[in-house]
Structure 1
Amino acid sequence: MSSAATAPPGSRSRGAEAAAAAPRAGRGTDPARCPGGRANPPLARRTARATIWYLRVVGVVDLLSAVSLTLRQEVAEHNSGELFTPFMLFAGFGSAAATLFMAMMLARHKRMAWLVFMALCGGYAALSVWGLCYDELRQHPFNWVSTALTLAALCCGALGRREFHGKGDRTNPQLALAVLGVGALLSVLVGTTLVTAVGPDRASVGDRVWYVGLRLATLSRDSDLEPNLHISRWVSAGLNLAGLALLLAVLYALFRSPRGRDLQSRDDEDRLRELLARHGARDSLGYFALRRDKSVIFSASGKAAVAYRVVGGVALASGDPIGDVEAWPGAIDAWLAEARDHAWIPAVMGASEEGGTVYARHGLDALELGDEAIVETDEFTLDGRAMRGVRQAYNRVRRAGYTTRIRRHRDIPADAMAQLLERADHWRDGATERGFSMALGRLGDPADGDCVMIECLDADGELKALLSFVPWGPKGLSLDLMRRDRDSENGLVEFMVLDLIERAAEVGVERVSLNFAMFRSVFEDGARLGAGPVLRLWRSALMFFSRWWQLESLYRANAKYRPIWEPRFLLFAKSAHLPRIGLASARAEGFVVAPRPLARLRRDG
């Protein structure tokens, strides 16, 4: 775990005043409205929404028709013979899934989804108009209604074209063709094998392949596809599901968001370090913007920047913008414009109250995630009854012969640093290096010479634990890495933290940011006398999940230092995006790992 922080004492009011004086963006505006923040005409927005809702309604009707025999029979009748149904109205779960997926992609303003919609809708509209040229089809009023609805959807899509601006990856068409070709080939091979295993011998191989191909693409009866075959309904249903899965995979490959900007270059890193040198004391998460798996976008003036990473179509920023607070709005505007251009969902993890206020003025909503623990070294004391447990643990570890060694990374010899890296990897919990918003992820890099390493040695001089802190301005430290030998004595981490605080003057440190405690206020307020039933229920739920995620234990581990609690916030554009943002955050932090075959798509949309 690691840390988060806020402005240094005495600077928050000045920062808040600067944030209040910053240019305001329209509160409540849709950050996914159009590229570069340009406001599209109201007609374009309304017609685009009408197109999206048209597909949503059709998808729901398709879904209902899949479970309603009467409705399914009526749709089947209109789809055959002399009648037509409105565009994309075909009975079945497959058509419902494809239609709703198309609506979802259009709702994310993806240009490729609009092109596919216009091509399909235009083709169906041409077919409907052509059908009305025949007297027998013109006699059915339903055909006129169907054609009118299809043309209306086509017109709405054309009028709302400027709303669908989201760029896709350049390789999407090739990837979609590859998925279609490979998926179809595998499906036909596997399907033909199954049909051969359960079908009669008199059917030729060509008949079986033809049947499988048609079954993957249609829901027609077996007798209509191939009269010589009598296949188990489970095999037929499995082939239909395979066809649906293939269709959705092709659409996903076609509509996926681009991977994002190139990761930060050496020049970007140098510019960020210059901004941190001048303004790094404002936010303890600032140094973590130097992670090399993040992209960075600067304001037009170059005085501020937002560091982010694209995960699952979410442009995930962390902490406050880097740099001069007066230039924050320019960096945020540039980041939101980049997200709009590529149909990414914008989100910010761990913003401070000051940074969250500026983000909120650009149309994002805020949700409190928890609190960080900040210790002011000059004010910290082990005296008093409240610190009795910590004091006793500290003295117990010291009597056992443990000592600490505190050094800047640049002062550690290369061979000693290699040994520290080896022990840190050995003590790591699992193979995945976790962290994104509050971890640097590169222990021992020569570029991070200002970081501070605390080593804990037992009575025999053997390394048993280590902590690494990144700079938080010239007078602060922010916890980055915490590793210890699980067979060592309990209390080593507390012993090292207290030794750091005790020797803070030697290191030139005035404040230390420790672990982030998620939902800290719930644990604290829910345990108080008179807490309401909703708060107690919420606390009980968090206590249950703490069995796996250590939420409550992390709060208590921080609370023992009697720190200053500073809130941290999640910023998002729409509440409907929260599930995707949560999943993207879990992936970025390393709690959810994509399977190896999907490693190529880990950051795709």
Structure 2
Amino acid sequence: MPADRSVVPLPAMPAPEALTARLTRWRFWLGLGLALLLAALLVEAAHKVMTELSYGAVVAAARATPAGVLLASVLATGLSFLALTLYDRSALQYAGARLPYRLVAQTSFIAYALSNTVGLGVLTGGAVRLRLYGAAGLEAGQISRVIAFNAVGFTAGIAVVGAAALVWRAGAVAGMLGWPPDLLRAAGVVTLLAAAAALGAFWRGGTWKLRGWSVRLPSASLAMQQLLISALDVTAAAAALWVLLPAGSVAFPTFVGFYALAIAVGVISHVPGGLGVFEAVLLLALGQQVPADQLVGALVLYRVIYHLLPLALALLLLVAASWRRGAATPLVRAAAALSPLLLSAFTFVIGVLLLVSGVTPATEDATAHLQRFMPLPVVEAAHFLGSVIGLALLFVARGMLLRLDVAWWAGLVLALASLVLCLPKGIAVSEAVLLGLLAVSLALSRRHFNRRAALFSLAFSRGWLLAVAAVVGAVAALLFFVYRDVPYADQVWWQFEFDAYAPRSLRAMVAVALLTLCVALAHLLHRAPPPLARPDAAALAQAQAIVAAQDSAGAGLALMGDKSLLFAESGQAFLMYARKGRSWVALYDPVGPREAWPELVWRFVELARESGGRPAFYQVRPQALPVYLDAGLRVYKLGECASVDLASFSLEGKRRANLRHGVARAQRDGLAFEWLPAGAAGPVFGALQAVSDDWLGQHQAAEKAFSLGAFERGYVERQPVAVVRHEGRIVAFATLLVTGQAAEAAVDLMRQRRDAPKTTMDFLFTQIILQLKAQGVACFNLGMVPLSGMAGHRLAPGWQRLGRLLFNHGENFYNFQGLRAFKEKFDPLWEPRYLAAPGGLAPFLVLSDTAALIAGGWRRVVSK
């Protein structure tokens, strides 16, 4: 019954909970307000561009930039990326790890080159760090702290540099924004004072705590070092753009402040690379100080120098690592395995450039040469096919991300074809250089694209389709900007002349738009997947042989027969999975030899996506995380799994006094332990059934499934069963999952009568552990404690902070702390378990569907 609010006051909500509740309540409106603000910013900037610019003036301004200025911009870019390598070095120091600077510099450069261009820096750059630093021996927790420390350091650097610029040049900034100088100067001073106060807190060191939330503070020297590195990075990056502007148009300190603001707004927008948003902020801020055509020309050159050039260099680094087959160290293999990720990003960028090239005219000199040496039909065909190839590369990039062999072939063929078309299309030399780099990189990376699939069966996510649609829309807008002075009429479409670039671009753009629409409709109207097939007797026998030959006890749940099985092509490995709604959930890591895992993961991801579903892997171990990251999934911590090292377990000593006394008390209470080997439970099955029925009735629960065993005769009799008798009557039992390698055993079903003595479960578990130790089993898996071990400090991801909150205050839903306390009695080792799933809302939807799979339906989730 609902509480009487007029009588029973609500308890005061702790500060973190109140903050979380407010953010959750207002998140939609805050996001909507920010989106509307950014949209208005873009519209205003676009209007300014459309009214004050001409395409010819922008091209002329970019081409008029002296070579010395371009070199200065490249040098400033190099200094910025050097500072970014120092980001990682100081972050590793904070995380308590030491690695060679050469490795740190290579990892940092590749990660930032990718994240600066593609965006989503924590995700794309994080995947690079997790693979390379992981191959160098760092643990996932250390790498997470490195990523978080970098993010905080970057934010602090932007804030401090921007604040210093405001204090120094408040008058100039106020003149551009129309705001009071004193207000801007005061805001800068407050920010700098806050930074100084933070440094003072760091000087004391220790751990900062607030109502269960804690964060280990860096030392003052490390914080100051990181602040200086951030200032160097932001200043150098700003200089890379500032030197491209007309000399004397805006003072450098003033420009740095606006640059920091533009970077911050671009990051908040979550637009890849801040494209459009970054430019919009600078156009609004500097539009009155710098001629618009020169400003836009400088922005275009900046994108090429600061974003495209490092991405191409990072790709060359990875391709070179891929080619070094003789030095097959784990680190080299890890670096080489990242090449499909960068090739996918580079292919997408090349596709965008080809589409842009298709809606912009060639130079007058190029047109004159084409008219002299090329037939008009060849020029028309090259222009049209170049745009279509650009669109195709946007879709092929998706297949490269999934390491499909057919995507590799398609990318190589399309790159070579477009390379040939560069000459008749407009003598596009720079375009030819980039296409040549793509073709060479693909040729040297062939062995990493080993996934077999049909290109036309590739499923595109809604996010990918939206990204392609956004690119096509932006290119269409660019077309109308470039040819805004052309009088559009019916006859324009059918003009075929060497200098008729507007009709040529219109025809190509219409084809691109129609093809995009066709691909989107084909995937949105995809047929519903057929029901999943349960394994037959032959499949279960094959799975049983694989389970017996490996060391993960939980793999025995495949023998329940309630999950579908996906076998590797070799037949020596499999994964078990089920489907609920649109969620395809694989339980645990694949079962079998490690070398077969990538194939199974990729096949499962493709199978789910081809059916319009969301692939996920439930309770995977940290050692296998790179396999899931390579498949384009993200990882979310679920909790921690407890395992007892049986070789060192004993009831002797002071630490085991409570367990020893508990066993002695249980024996005095008349409890006796009995071990039934696999196949020996038949004579007592009726008694076990009675215990199971009493346990289900006591808890008003039904049989579970998926990640838990169910009490079924055939399944129970295949397992060892541990029994506790009280005065000769069975009062409790547990079934065990044991591998043939004796590497691990795990508890499966665990049930007791309601009238069993209170010491029964402690006695049962202790005797199981001693029995398994006597049999030579290496470790005993006590199972996972959900949400255990979640980080609660400010640097932790929001997912873990929410989990920590639920673990500490969610006793009304589940006894998280009580479950951990019970398992702590046996002094286990704790290892994290993760969910690998797509991003966004997918993890919450997957976990909801997984709960329904375990409970046997949504109704049982609610009613137990």
**Band the TM-score falls in, shorter-chain normalisation:** 0.5 to 0.7
Q: CA deviation at 1:343?
A: 0.9
Distance in 1 separating the partners of 2:601 and 2:736: 28
Superposition deviation, residue 526 in structure 1: 7.0
Alpha-carbon distance in structure 2 between the residues aligned to 1:28 and 1:387: 53
Quickly say closer, same or farther: Cα 1:520–1:316, change in 2 above 3 A.
Answer: same
Q: Determine which of 432, 447, 454 is the counterpart of 2:702.
A: 432
| Aligned pairs for 1:28-177 within 5 A | 43=391, 107=462, 156=513, 158-162=515-519
Alpha-carbon separation, structure 2, partners of 1:41 and 1:550:
57
| Whole-angstrom CA distance in 1 between matches of 2:719 and 2:763 | 19
1:407 to 660, 676, 691: 676
Q: 2:566·2:576 contact (CA, 8 Å) conserved in 1?
A: yes
Match of 1:466 among 706, 709, 733: 733
1: CA distance between counterparts of 2:538 and 2:343?
34
Equivalent residues of 1:450, 1:470 under 8 A apart: no
CA distance in 2, matches of 1:308, 1:385: 44
Read off the aligned partner of 1:564 and give its amino acid letter. Answer: L
Give the unaligned 5+ runs of structure 2: 1-136, 141-327, 345-387, 397-459, 466-508
1:319-353 alpha-carbon deviations (Å, 9 max, x no partner): 11111111111111211121121011000100111
Cα distance, 1:422–1:486 mapped onto 2, change above 3 Å: closer
Q: CA deviation at 1:496?
A: 0.9
Question: How far does residue 314 in structure 1 lie from its aligned partner after superposition?
Answer: 0.7
Q: CA deviation at 1:502?
A: 2.0
Q: 1:481 aligns with which of 749, 761, 765?
A: 749
Tell me the amino acid that sits aligned with residue 43 of structure 1: L
How many residues are paired up?
386
* 1:261 match: 532
Q: Which has the higher contact order (CA 8 A, sep 6+)?
A: 1
State the Cα distance separating 1:551 from its structure 2 match: 1.1
Query: What SS does structure 1 have at the residue aligned with 2:679?
Result: helix
Alignment of 1:318 with 2:590, yes or no, is no
Q: CA deviation at 1:261?
A: 3.0
- Once residues 28 and 586 of structure 1 are traced to their aligned partners in structure 2, the CA distance between those partners, rounded to angstroms, is 36
Amino acid at match of 1:587: A
The structure with the larger Rg is 2
Q: 1:425–1:169: structure 2 CA closer, same or farther, 3 Å change rule? A: farther
Distance 1:514 1:272 in 2: 23
Paired residue for 1:272?
A: 543
Q: Is the 8 A contact 1:28 1:364 kept in 2?
A: no
CA separation of 1:287 and 1:160: change in aligned 2, threshold 3 A: farther
Aligned to 1:586: 851
Structure 2 CA distance, aligned partners of 1:28 and 1:425? Answer: 56
The CA deviation string for residues 461-496 of structure 1, in whole angstroms up to 9 with x for no partner, is 112111111123431311111111123221211101
Structure 1 residues 412 and 541: CA distance shift in structure 2, 3 A: closer
User: Cα distance 1:329–1:537, how it changes in 2: closer, same or farther (>3 A)?
Assistant: closer
Contact 1:46-1:160 at 8 Å conserved across structures: no
Q: Tell me, in whole angstroms, the C-alpha distance in 1 between the residues paired with 2:532 and 2:801.
A: 45
> TM-score by structure 1 length?
0.56
Helix, strand or coil at the partner of 1:411: coil
Q: Does 1:361 align with 2:646?
A: no
Corresponding position of 1:34 = none
CA distance in 1, matches of 2:522, 2:556: 34
Aligned to 1:394: 663
Superposed displacement of residue 565, structure 1: 1.2
Change (3 A) 1:334 1:404: same
- Tell me which of 512, 515, 533 is aligned to 2:780: 512
Q: Structure 1: state its 5+ residue gaps.
A: 1-12, 31-39, 49-104, 111-151, 171-256, 597-605
State the Cα distance separating 1:313 from its structure 2 match. Answer: 0.8
Structure 1 residues 307, 372: CA separation in 2 closer, same or farther (over 3 Å shift)?
A: same
**Cα deviation digits, residues 2-58 of structure 1 (max 9, x gap):** xxxxxxxxxxx9xx999986994745999xxxxxxxxx976268699xxxxxxxxxx
Comparing 152-161 and 425-434, the one that deviates more? 152-161
Structure 2 residue corresponding to 1:552, chosen from 817, 831, 834: 817
Distance change in 2, residues 1:107/1:493 (3 Å):
same
Classify 1:516/1:565 alpha carbon distance in 2 versus 1 (closer, same or farther; 3 Å): same
Distance 1:461 1:167 in 2: 63
> Secondary structure in 2 aligned to 1:390?
helix
Deviations 1:388-425 (A, max 9, x none): 33332222112111011111230123x42133123213
- Residues 421, 443 of structure 1: 8 Å contact kept: no
Counterpart amino acid of 2:738?
P
Partner of 2:506 in structure 1?
Answer: none
How many percent identity over aligned positions?
A: 21
C-alpha distance in 1 between matches for 2:611 and 2:329: 31
As a proportion of its length, which structure holds more helix?
Answer: 2
TM (norm. structure 2) is: 0.40
- Distance in 1 (CA, whole Å) between partners of 2:732 and 2:546 is 33
Q: Give the match for residue 685 of structure 2.
A: 417
The CA deviation at 1:267 is 2.2
Q: Deviations over 1:243-263 (max 9, x none)?
A: xxxxxxxxxxxxxx4254312
Instruction: Give the CA deviation at 1:159.
Output: 2.4
Query: CA separation in 1, counterparts of 2:395 and 2:681?
Result: 64
Report the 3-state secondary structure (helix = DSSP H, G, I; strand = E; otherwise coil) of the residue aligned with 1:441.
Answer: coil
The whole-number CA distance in structure 2 between the counterparts of 1:316 and 1:536 is 24
The CA RMSD over aligned residues, in Å, is: 4.3
Asked if the contact 2:787–2:804 (Cα under 8 Å) also holds between the matched residues in 1, the reply is no
- Please report how far the alpha carbon of residue 377 of structure 1 lies from its aligned counterpart in structure 2 after TM superposition: 1.6
Aligned AA for 1:351?
V
